[in-house]
Structures are given as C-alpha cells and as structure tokens.
C-alpha cells in the first residue's frame, strides 16, 4: 500500500504515467518510520520529498486559502493581471502579476525582473500572510523580493523551464497553490530525461531548494472546476523568490 501522502504522485517512465503506489512499480522499504521510494520520500502524513522538492500537502486550511485569495484581489486591484508576451511573440496562456520590490516580466526583450507593473505603477507589498509562510518554511533572515502571482484559466499550462533569472540560487523558491488542482511535472537539471508528476491542490506549499533549485519543471494541465475556492474556477500559484 502506498503511503497516503503519495496519493497522486506519478512517474513518467517507458510505460507512461503510472501511480507510484502501484505495487508492480514500487520498491518501498521502511526505514525509521519513513517510507522510501527511489526518489519520493514521505516525511510525515503531509510532507513528501521528490527530487529535492519538499511538498507540504494541505499546509493552508480552507480559511487561510480564502483569506489569501482576498489579499490577492487587493494586489490585482493595484497591479492588474496581464498576459505576458514570450520573447518569441506569443502571448503566454498564464496570466500574471506580482507583489514586492520586483515583479517578473516577459516581453519581446526577454524575461526579467522589473520594479514596476507595465502600466507604470509600483508592485503592491507582498501580503503579510505570504511573508509568514516564507518565514515558517524558508527563512527568518530575509523576506523575498518578489511574489509572482500566476493565474491558470481553463486550458492554461506552463511548459518545462528553469527559473534562473535570480542572482543567488542558494535561496529557495516557495510556491503556494490555490484553487483548481494542477499537474506539476518535475524534470532534471538539464532539459529532457525522465520526469515525475504530482497533482498540486489548493493549500499545498512547495519549497524548491538546494540541488532542486535549477530543476526543470512545468504545469501540464489543470483540472478546471475541481476546487470551489475561486468562484470562476482556475488555479492561482504564488512563487516567492529572493531576486538580488
Ligand atoms: C522549481 N510556476 O512561476 S510553481 C514559475 O505552478 C512556475 O505556476 C509553476 O514554475 C506554477 O516559474 C510551478 C513551482 C516552482 C516554482 C519555482 C521554481 C518550481 C520551481 C523554481 C525553481 C525550481
Ligand atoms: Fe518556474
């Protein structure tokens, strides 16, 4: 039997997408109360490690998720969501805005961090609740410079990529999922190779640090309408980063 925290963890191998819990596929062994897999390790009922990504499932309860959505409405009121252009001239399907000292931008000049929203307004401050999660799971020493807010509507996805626009990769990246479930794919330090996928659900928080900081990752699809958190459906993902 797979550990409960491994529900929805998949690995893409030669035979395609298979649940890690399937007996024919797994070599779980018990070790000091932890369940090990080739690459997925369960820390406790709610925390699972995959390829250096620490996934805290259900870290935020429903009330905390709803309060966070309210904070993000205020962020989007000052700095409206927009569809960035890729440097190749195609609009991204994911809509974005940011909070903090920097916001992440993409246009025909490339990807970069900027101090103002494209409309010429400052990015709003990062909501206190988000900073509290950061202090809890990443660091008390400093706050993140950027909280990127991604919105995935029906059919939106994000291709496999690395996050490497930041100055210091020693700082972890924190991700918070809200709303509809998203299928998160985790690859390797270089493009290609075998990948593993996990459904991220509303309230899940992921910390990407150490060797995982430069791992390729993406969102293959969302399960539109799977959560009742956002009235109109869709998925919000927050990523907090130290930029410089
Ligand atoms: C791994 N966002 O904004 S969050 C992104 O769900 C991004 O919106 C996805 O990838 C989303 O760049 C995935 C998980 C994530 C975020 C940052 C990372 C994984 C990461 C940075 C380094 C390595
Ligand atoms: Fe990313």
Residue 234: CATH number of its domain:
2.60.120.590
Cα–ligand 1 centroid distance for 208 (angstroms): 8
Give the mean pLDDT of the chain. Answer: 87
Helices 62-78 and 128-137: angle between axes, nearest 10 degrees: 120
Residue length of the chain:
244
Number of domains comprising the chain: 2
186 and 88 within one domain:
yes
Q: Left (φ > 0), alpha (ψ -120 to 50) or beta: where does 145 sit?
A: alpha
The response to whether residue 206 sits with its C-beta less than 6 Å from ligand 1 reads yes
Cα–ligand 1 centroid distance for 23 (angstroms): 30
Residue 64 contacts residue 70 (beta carbons within 8 Å): no
Q: Pick the more confident residue, 36 or 67.
A: 67
Residue 144 contacts residue 170 (beta carbons within 8 Å): no
155 and 72 within one domain:
yes
Cα–ligand 2 centroid distance for 218 (angstroms): 7
Predicted local confidence at residue 2, as pLDDT = 59
Residue 12 contacts residue 195 (beta carbons within 8 Å): yes
In terms of residue numbers, what domain contains 40?
1-50
Predicted local confidence at residue 38, as pLDDT = 47
Kindly indicate the confidence band of residue 16, based on its pLDDT and cuts at 50, 70 and 90.
Answer: very low
The response to whether residue 101 sits with its C-beta less than 6 Å from ligand 1 reads no
77 and 30 within one domain:
no
For residue 94, the ligand 1 atom closest to its alpha carbon is 8
Cα–ligand 2 centroid distance for 147 (angstroms): 12
pLDDT digits (tens, 9 = 90+) for 213-241: 999 999 999 999 999 999 999 999 999 99
198 and 120 within one domain:
yes
40 and 117 within one domain:
no
The response to whether residue 98 sits with its C-beta less than 6 Å from ligand 1 reads no
Q: Left (φ > 0), alpha (ψ -120 to 50) or beta: where does 211 sit?
A: alpha
Which of 6-10, 29-33, 69-73, 149-153 is predicted with the least confidence, judged by mean pLDDT?
29-33
pLDDT digits (tens, 9 = 90+) for 187-207: 999 999 999 999 999 999 999
pLDDT at position 110 over 60:
yes
pLDDT at position 33 over 90:
no
- Count Cα neighbours of 61 within 13 Å in the Cβ-side half-sphere: 1
pLDDT digits (tens, 9 = 90+) for 134-187: 999 999 999 999 999 999 999 999 999 999 999 999 999 999 999 999 999 999
Of the bound ligands, which one is closest to the alpha carbon of residue 207?
Answer: 1
Tell me the pairing of strands 182-186 and 195-200: antiparallel
Of the bound ligands, which one is closest to the alpha carbon of residue 221?
Answer: 1
The response to whether residue 149 sits with its C-beta less than 6 Å from ligand 1 reads no
CA 171 from centre of chain: 15
d(CA 163, CA 174) in angstroms, rounded, equals: 12
Could you give the C-alpha distances from 231 to 22, 79, 177, 203, 225, in angstroms and in order?
35, 20, 16, 16, 9
Cα–ligand 2 centroid distance for 1 (angstroms): 32
Predicted local confidence at residue 180, as pLDDT = 98
124 and 10 within one domain:
no
Residue nearest to atom 3 of ligand 1 (CA): 239
Cα–ligand 2 centroid distance for 161 (angstroms): 6
Residue 242 contacts residue 168 (beta carbons within 8 Å): yes
12 CB-contact burial (10 Å; exposed 0-12 / middle 13-18 / buried 19+): middle
66 and 1 within one domain:
no
121 and 65 within one domain:
yes
For residue 215, the ligand 1 atom closest to its alpha carbon is 23
pLDDT at position 131 over 60:
yes
99 and 220 within one domain:
yes
18 and 103 within one domain:
no
């Amino acid at each position: 039997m797979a550990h409960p925290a491994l529900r929805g963890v998949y690995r893409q191998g030669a035979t395609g997408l298979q649940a890690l819990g399937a007996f024919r596929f797994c070599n779980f062994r018990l070790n000091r109360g932890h369940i090990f897999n080739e690459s997925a390790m369960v820390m406790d009922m709610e925390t699972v490690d995959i390829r250096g990504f620490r996934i805290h499932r259900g870290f935020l309860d429903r009330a905390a998720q709803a309060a966070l959505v309210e904070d993000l409405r205020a962020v989007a009121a000052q700095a409206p969501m927009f569809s960035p252009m890729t440097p190749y001239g195609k609009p991204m399907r994911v809509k974005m805005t940011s909070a903090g000292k920097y916001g992440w931008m993409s246009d025909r000049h490339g990807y970069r961090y900027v101090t103002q929203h494209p409309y010429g307004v400052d990015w709003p401050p990062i909501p206190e609740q988000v900073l509290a999660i950061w202090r809890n799971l990443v660091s008390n020493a400093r706050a993140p410079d950027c909280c990127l807010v991604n919105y995935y509507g029906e059919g939106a996805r994000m291709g496999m990529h690395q996050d490497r626009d930041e100055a210091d990769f020693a700082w972890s990246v924190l991700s918070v999922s809200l709303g509809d479930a998203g299928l998160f794919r985790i690859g390797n330090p270089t493009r290609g190779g075998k990948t593993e996928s996990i459904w991220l659900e509303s309230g899940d928080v992921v910390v990407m640090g150490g060797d995982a900081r430069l791992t390729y990752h993406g969102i293959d699809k969302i399960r539109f309408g799977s959560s009742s958190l956002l009235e109109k459906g869709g998925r919000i993902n927050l990523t907090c980063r130290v930029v410089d």
